[in-house]
């Protein structure tokens, strides 16, 4: 396999999680009696451009289908994150009735709804029909297709270049990151602003966030690798922000290479932080497998111990990261009888691979539970606040990453 960006031969493994089904391929009861698709879940690191990437195995169409079950609006904290960003961009870029905002991977309209309410013309690009339909009901125009160079040029030819072009948690999801980047270049208006948010590889490594590895994430990104990818198509990063979302993310601000805006000092500061943390040193990547295995082993040991002593552990959040850790650890319903989730699109289904059933959150009130394992640890504070009343009956909250914590 060659690097998806620079085409150098990949020779160094970063993480091997064995074989697993796609993390968002939730199952119906009928599916339980049918064969299930499993693919290798391995990461490689390119020692030329330092892009971390999954092993090739399938195309995006197999992962992001019409029944895609991830809806961004499920999380109240994510909705607030989007609202704050929207207000800030409207003011900073002076967006109004004559502007155009384009969001790539607009999902269920969680962000663009704010621009619609403010009277700013917008357009969503979203290939999954289930989420696109929800956005359209909010009055958001949506192109139901994958974004890339061809669509970027088509938008440009139609006179629909963006004053603000954004993509939140999509840059890591594209199999052809160069084609996608050329599309961004084509769809961005001269003088326009591009923002991308993505989980920061530095935090993944520091905090052992191996459960954020799944097939839908083709790339794991540092500022250094993203800078190289965008510069190759004629775009330039002029600012960056570190965000707490998804366990630690970056939001980059970019423009055309010939744009007069100066580069903020924060860009150099983050690049230096990555360098000092060893993100351009091979041993950093070669040591990660052991650290991930230790997290997995500790969670498995905890669940086995609770079963032996007659205590019951349930889980909150049928998140993709939860599927990664359950499948890697080989956890089944005998150790984890069910998971509750707030998304109606997941309720009544089963976790891929582990076949743990998914119930509405309200069912927690009817089930005996000693520990509640919060699989999406990135929203653990939000979950513990919402379910604080459970502690009155003795329930304790548990997270497994970066190490086992029982509250």
**Whether residue 117 is found in the same domain as residue 214:** yes
Q: Using CA atoms in the order 293, 294, 298, 299, what is the torsion angle rounded to 10 degrees?
A: -40
The DSSP call for residue 349 is: -
Is residue 1 one of the residues assigned to a domain?
Answer: no
Identify any residues that bridge with 237 across adjacent strands, giving them in sequence order: 254
Q: Tell me the CB-side half-sphere exposure of residue 204, using CA atoms within 13 A.
A: 26
How many other CB atoms are there within 10 angstroms of residue 21's CB atom?
Answer: 21
Spatial distance between the Cα atoms of 397 and 374, rounded to a whole number of angstroms:
7
- Considering 255, 285, 315, which residue would you say is the last residue of a domain? 285
**Residue 111 forms part of a structural domain:** yes
* Percentages (nearest 5) of helix, strand, coil residues in the chain: 40, 25, 40
Sign of the dihedral defined by the CA atoms of residues 207, 317, 136, 179, in that order: positive
Q: Strand pairing partners for 166?
A: 103, 195
Task: Identify whether residues 332 and 278 lie together within a single domain.
Answer: no
Q: How many independent structural domains does the chain possess?
A: 2
Contact 219, 167 (CB under 8 A): no
Q: Residue 7 corresponds to which tokens in the numbers above?
A: 């085409």
Mean pLDDT in consecutive groups of 10 residues from the start of the chain, 407 residues: 96 96 93 95 97 78 53 79 97 98 95 97 94 94 97 98 97 96 98 98 97 94 98 98 94 98 98 98 97 98 98 96 97 98 94 98 94 95 95 96 96
Judgement on whether residues 398 and 280 belong to the same structural domain of the protein = no
Residue 43, in any domain of the structure:
no
Under 8 Å between Cβ of 22 and 39: yes
- Total count of residues recorded for the chain: 407
Does 21 map to a domain?
A: no
CATH number of the domain enclosing 255: 3.40.50.150
CATH number at residue 345: 3.40.50.720
Residues 134 and 243 reside in one and the same domain: yes
DSSP of 134-162, one letter per residue? Answer: HHHTTT--EE-S--SHHHHHHHHHTT--E
**d(Cα 349, Cα 369) in Å, to the nearest integer?**
21
Report residue 109 as tokens.
């309209």
pLDDT tens, position by position, 185-235: 999 999 999 999 999 999 999 999 999 999 989 999 999 999 999 999 999
Residues 267, 390 within the same domain: no
Q: Are residues 172 and 319 in the same domain?
A: no
Locus of tokens 């990664």: 324
Q: What's the CA gap between 220 and 222, in Å, rounded? A: 7
Give the structural domain span for 146: 72-285
Asked whether residue 278 falls in the same domain as residue 328, the answer is no
Q: Contact at 8 Å (CB) between 64 and 127? A: yes
Q: Are 65 and 128 in contact (CB under 8 A)?
A: yes
End-to-end CA distance of the chain: 44
- Per the listing, tokens 């966030």 go with 209
Pairing of strands 249-256, 12-20: unpaired
pTM: 0.90
Domain shared by 277 and 183, yes or no = yes
What's the token pair of residue 54?
């999954």
The Cα-based distances of 374 to 202, 322, 387 in angstroms read 23, 9, 11
* Within-domain flag for 29: no
125 and 225 assigned to the same domain: yes
Do 245 and 347 belong together in one domain?
no
Statement to judge: residues 228 and 335 lie in one domain: no
pLDDT reported for residue 61: 55
């Amino acid at each position: 396999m060659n690097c998806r960006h620079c085409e150098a031969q990949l020779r160094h493994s970063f993480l091997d999680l064995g074989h697993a089904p796609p993390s968002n391929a939730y199952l119906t009861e009928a599916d339980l009696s049918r064969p299930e698709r499993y693919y290798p879940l391995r990461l490689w690191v390119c020692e030329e451009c330092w892009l971390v990437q999954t092993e090739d195995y399938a195309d995006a169409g197999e992962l992001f289908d019409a029944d895609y079950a991830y809806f961004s609006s499920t999380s109240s904290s994510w909705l607030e994150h989007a609202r704050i960003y929207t207000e800030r961009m409207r003011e900073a870029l002076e967006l109004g009735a004559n502007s155009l905002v384009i969001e790539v991977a607009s999902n269920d309209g969680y962000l663009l709804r704010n621009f619609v309410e403010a009277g700013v013309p917008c357009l969503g690009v979203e290939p999954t029909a289930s989420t696109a339909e929800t956005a359209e009901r909010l009055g958001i125009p949506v192109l139901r297709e994958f974004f890339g160079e061809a669509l970027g040029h088509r938008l440009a030819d139609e006179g629909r270049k963006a004053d603000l072009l954004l993509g939140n948690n999509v840059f890591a999801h594209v199999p052809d990151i160069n084609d996608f980047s050329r599309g961004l270049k084509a769809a961005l208006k001269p003088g326009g602003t591009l923002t991308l948010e993505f989980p920061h590889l530095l935090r993944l490594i520091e905090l052992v966030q191996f459960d954020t590895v799944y097939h839908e994430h083709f790339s794991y990104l540092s500022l250094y690798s993203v800078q190289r990818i965008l510069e190759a198509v004629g775009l330039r990063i002029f600012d960056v922000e570190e965000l707490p979302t998804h366990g630690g993310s970056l939001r980059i601000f970019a423009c055309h290479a010939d744009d007069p805006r100066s580069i903020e000092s924060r860009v150099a500061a983050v690049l230096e932080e990555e360098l000092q943390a060893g993100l351009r040193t091979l041993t950093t990547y070669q040591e990660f497998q052991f650290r991930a295995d230790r997290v997995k082993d500790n969670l498995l040991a905890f669940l086995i111990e609770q079963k032996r002593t007659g205590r019951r552990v349930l889980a909150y959040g049928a998140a993709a990261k939860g599927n990664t850790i359950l499948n890697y650890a080989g956890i089944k319903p005998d150790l984890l009888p069910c998971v509750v989730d707030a998304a109606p699109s997941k309720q009544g289904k089963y976790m891929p691979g582990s076949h743990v059933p998914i119930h509405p959150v309200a069912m927690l009130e009817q089930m005996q539970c000693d520990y509640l394992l919060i699989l999406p640890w990135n929203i653990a504070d939000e979950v513990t606040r919402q379910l604080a009343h459970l502690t009155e009956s003795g329930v304790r909250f548990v997270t497994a990453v970066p190490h086992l914590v029982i509250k």
